[in-house]
Structure 1
C-alpha cells in the first residue's frame, strides 16, 4: 500500500483502475440526452440536399439585376414561388424571378437571391432596389456531407448534438450504459433525513451529495444505505452490493478506532493507496474488493464532495471514454486572500464571476464540515503546497460544473 501521495500521483492510480469496456445499448434519440456515444456517427444525408436560400426573397439571375438601386429599380416578372418543402418545378429565365422562402431550394436557372426588404411587389412583377447576390445561397452539403463523421465515440449527447444526430438521419443511437456506482455511508451517528435526530447524530447528507455528483457525471447511483461502525456489518454490505463498476464509501477511512472501512479493505481486499497530500480530503483511500474498485471518501461533507469531483468524476469519464475533460481550470484575480497549507495542495471553495476579468472570492468559513460552501460556491481555488494567495493576486480556479 502506498501512502501520502501527491494529488497527481493519486489521480494516476485512480485512473489506472479503469479496466474493460462498458456495454453499449441502443436508444431512441428522445431518450439519449446526457448519454455517451458508443460509436462514430456519419451523416446519412447531405444537408442541405441541394442549394437553398438562407433568406426570404426572390431567386433570379444576378446578371439581370446589376445596377438596381432605389433611384433606378429593376423590374422582373414573377413566375411562381417556392416555400420550404415545395420546390419550384420550372426554370428561371432572363428577366424572371421566383419568390423563395428560407430553406427553399434555389430554382434551376437562378444563381442569386435578393432580400425581400430590398423589393416591392407590383402586380405580376417585382421591383428590385438592390442587386441580387449569391452570398445568401447555401450550397448543397454546406452543413452536412453524406458519409462524413460528425459525432464520435465518447461524445456526450448534448441538446445540440441530439439535434445534429437527427439532422444526419439517425432515429436511434448506440450509447454506453451508465456506470453503476454504489454509495455506502458509514457511522453510528448517521441518520436518514426525516428520522428523529438523536443527540450527536447527523443527517446522511453525503449519500445525496454523492448521488447528485454521480448523476451529473453520467453514472447510475445505487444507494446502499448506511452501516454501523462494525467490521462484520460493513463487510456483509460490501459483499452484497451487487454488480457495480465503482463503489463509493463515505467515512471510516481516517485513523480513529471506529474508522473500520480501511481496516476491512486491508484484510479482505487490496488497498492501493491511503492518504493524499491535499486539503480537504487527505484521508482518501483507493482499494479493490474482489476486482471492484473502491474509493473510500472522507466522512466530512466537503471532503467527500471535493474528493469525488477530483477523482471519482475523472474515473467515470474515463470509463465512459468521454471526449470532454472531467474538469478544467482557469486563472482569476483573487478578491480575498486564500490560505494554503504546509506540504499540501489546497482546494478552497470560492465564488467565481466571469466578466471582462475573471475574479474569485472566498465563500467564507472553509471548514470541511461546512456544506454551504459547496452549495453556494461555484469553484475550487487551487493553492500549491506551502503557498498562499493574497488579495489582488492571480490564482488557478476549477469551476464546479454542478453549481449554476
Structure 2
C-alpha cells in the first residue's frame, strides 16, 4: 500500500475536504491565527492620495537641482499640508509648501526636501541645502490599488496580515473553519517532561512539537497525552477526543508487534494509505477511526515533524509546501524508491548536509536551516541547484 507523496497529499486532503469546505466571516479582532479562506482584494487604494514620506517641504524639483550648503535654493513658503488638511492651492516656480509625513502632495509639486536639509531664511522663505527628491513622494496606489488581490486564500493571518487586511478596507474576513485536532503519543516508553526518566524511556517531545505545528496551521488542539502499548488503552485515549475533527497520533504505525495504531485502523477503521515513498517518515498511516479522520505519524521525532510539514500542513492550510532553490555545496545522495528530505545547513550561499541524519536526532531539526528535497533516484551534484523547504 506504498503511495507517492502526491497520492498521500491528495488522499489526506480528500479526508478533510468536507470539514474544511465551508468558511465563516470573522471580525478582524478574532482573525489572528486563522487561515484565510478566500483571496482578499483591496477595497481602496493605498496611499489614497499622492503624499509625502517625510516631514519637510514640497516643491518643484527643477527649482532645487543646484542646491547645496554653499549655494542653497531659496523658496517662498506659501502654506502647509498636513494629514487631514491638504494645501488647497498649487505650487509654482520658486515656491514651497511645508509638508508633513502622510500629507497630500500639493498640485504643482513633484519633490520633497527633508526638514533636516532646510534653513530658515526669514521673511517667509526657506533655504534648501540639497536638491529635493521625487523619491520621497509616495504615489497614490503605490502600495496597492483598489481591486488588486493582495492576500491569498490559505495564508495564515499573522498580526501583519490582519493589519494589511484592515488597510484594504475589510472589517470582517472569510476564514477557514478552525478544526479541533486531537494529539496522542503512543508507547510504553513515553513519559511526560518533568517526570523521572527510567532507563529506556523517552520524554513526550512529539506531542509538544505537533501542538505548535497545528496551532501555526490555524487550528485548535486537544491534548490527549500518551497511551501505553495496549489496544484497550489506545482506544480509550482516542475516545477522550470527543468531537475532534482530526486525530493525530505519533508512534505505532510501523511493522512491529506493538505498532497498535496500524492494527487499530486495519481492524476497527478504514485505511486510506499506509507507507509513503519518503524518508524520513515512510511508515506514515492515514485513514479514519469511527468516522473521524486519523493521521498516524511515525514515533521517531524527526520523522513525525517532517511528515507533518510535508503531508499534514498542506491539507490543514490549503497551501502547497513552500520551497526555494539553492546551490548544493556538496553531493546529496538519492534513494532508489523514495523522495529524501535531508536536513541541510546554509554555508556561504550554498546548502550542505547536516552531519547526523538519523530520525532520532531531534536536535538536527533545530540546528538545520532547510530540508533538502532529493527526488527518487535523482542524486544532486555539488554546484547544481536543489529544491529545499525552509525550516
Smaller-chain TM-score range? 0.7 to 0.9
Q: Bigger shift: 170-179 or 128-137?
A: 128-137
Query: Do residues 375 (structure 1) and 370 (structure 2) align?
Result: no
Cα distance, 1:269 vs. partner? 0.9
Could you tell me whether the CA contact under 8 Å between 2:182 and 2:223 is conserved in 1? yes
Q: CA deviation digits over 1:292-345, x for unaligned, max 9?
A: 221111212222122222111122122xxx4xx33314243234x555545333
CA distance 1:55–1:287, shift in 2 (3 Å): same
Could you tell me whether the CA contact under 8 Å between 1:83 and 1:100 is conserved in 2? yes
Following superposition of structure 1 onto structure 2, how do residues 81-96 of structure 1 map, counting pairs within 5 Å? 81-89=80-88, 92=91, 95-96=94-95
SS of 2:87's partner is coil
Cα distance, 1:271 vs. partner? 0.8
- How many angstroms apart in 1 are the aligned matches of 2:209 and 2:37? 28
Q: What residue number does 1:97 align with?
A: 96
- Output the TM-score relative to the length of structure 1: 0.82
Q: What residue number does 1:192 align with?
A: 192
Q: What residue number does 1:292 align with?
A: 292
Could you tell me whether the CA contact under 8 Å between 2:25 and 2:172 is conserved in 1? no
- How many angstroms apart in 1 are the aligned matches of 2:65 and 2:346? 55
- How many angstroms apart in 1 are the aligned matches of 2:296 and 2:285? 5
- How many angstroms apart in 2 are the aligned matches of 1:129 and 1:200? 75
Following superposition of structure 1 onto structure 2, how do residues 233-382 of structure 1 map, counting pairs within 5 Å? 233-318=233-318, 322=319, 325-335=320-330, 338-353=332-347, 355=348, 357-364=349-356, 366-382=357-373
SS of 1:36's partner is coil
- How many angstroms apart in 1 are the aligned matches of 2:36 and 2:218? 12
Could you tell me whether the CA contact under 8 Å between 1:351 and 1:363 is conserved in 2? no
Could you tell me whether the CA contact under 8 Å between 1:344 and 1:385 is conserved in 2? yes
- Output the TM-score relative to the length of structure 2: 0.84
Q: What residue number does 1:219 align with?
A: 219
Structure 1, gaps ≥5 residues long:
none
Following superposition of structure 1 onto structure 2, how do residues 40-51 of structure 1 map, counting pairs within 5 Å? 40-51=39-50
CA distance 1:150–1:93, shift in 2 (3 Å): same
Q: 2:389 aligns with which of 361, 378, 399?
A: 399
Could you tell me whether the CA contact under 8 Å between 2:156 and 2:218 is conserved in 1? no
SS of 1:17's partner is helix
Could you tell me whether the CA contact under 8 Å between 1:82 and 1:98 is conserved in 2? yes
Structure 2, gaps ≥5 residues long:
none
- How many angstroms apart in 1 are the aligned matches of 2:243 and 2:249? 16
